[in-house]
Structure 1
């Protein structure tokens, strides 16, 4: 009969984190305003989807506010998409980002943030404060214009 005090061996995976960019640091765009942010987002937003379905994307920034990556969090329906804070911050932490800029589009063309947009932004800012990843802005995109929470004093 086996003793209950025997040690059971477990196999576990070793986790290694690393980051290697294919873009030279000198070529990364620097974000100094919402206009800079909009320019980068517009370049990487799929024109065939901006008026069709909602998408949520995050710009990941280093300490100098240079873009180290863009993470597409989700693609949803014509009226909403899911922005899971855990997925957003796991991407930021894996990339060793010091700051993030949240963004999503409104296929309707309406730039007014919904109450859900406002609530999510507050929640993300609080989580970022705890994790020491600054949430600099939340930008709503349409095919013709953009809305910046930071510019409007909502951040």
Structure 2
């Protein structure tokens, strides 16, 4: 063991915050995969849906009102990383009770890959531990969307 004394000045401070300037009455309510896809598409970076793959989440309260949209990652043409730790940091910061996962397929192909299915199940299982529900995983393209829930995959 080291004989050095502990210096409390060398400890990082951690701050956790969520701030919304949108009143609860003005927040959109998710009623279907189509309404979620519409909100996601509207808030996707212009020109990026058909260019690079990104993974985003819709953060929801108990009334399925959108607390916010968080970009988890942006990758390349054929993939991006969806780190469950990053996803749940955002969910916990915003006091979300449920999430809708989303990513785009720049190719325009709406078929989920095995990797898409695997990460959805992994995040869903992690959410159970934290009592945060995964309501859907939506794949977005420039023209359409695919819902894991509507297709029976969730």
- TM norm structure 1: 0.91
Q: Please name the residue that 1:10 is paired with.
A: 8
- Deviating above 6 A after TM superposition, structure 1's stretches of 4 or more consecutive aligned residues are 4-7
For the structure 1 residues 81 and 16, does the alpha-carbon distance in structure 2 shift closer, same or farther, using more than 3 Å as the test?
Answer: closer
Q: Please name the residue that 1:130 is paired with.
A: 129
Q: How many residues get paired?
A: 152
- TM norm structure 2: 0.92
Gaps of 5+ in 2: none
Matches within 5 A, 1:7-86: 8-11=6-9, 12-86=11-85
Structure-2 separation of matches of 1:60 and 1:129: 16
RMSD over aligned CA atoms reads: 1.7
For the structure 1 residues 77 and 18, does the alpha-carbon distance in structure 2 shift closer, same or farther, using more than 3 Å as the test?
Answer: closer
* CA positional deviation for 1:13: 4.6
Q: Which of structures 1 and 2 has the bigger CA Rg?
A: 1
Gaps of 5+ in 1: none
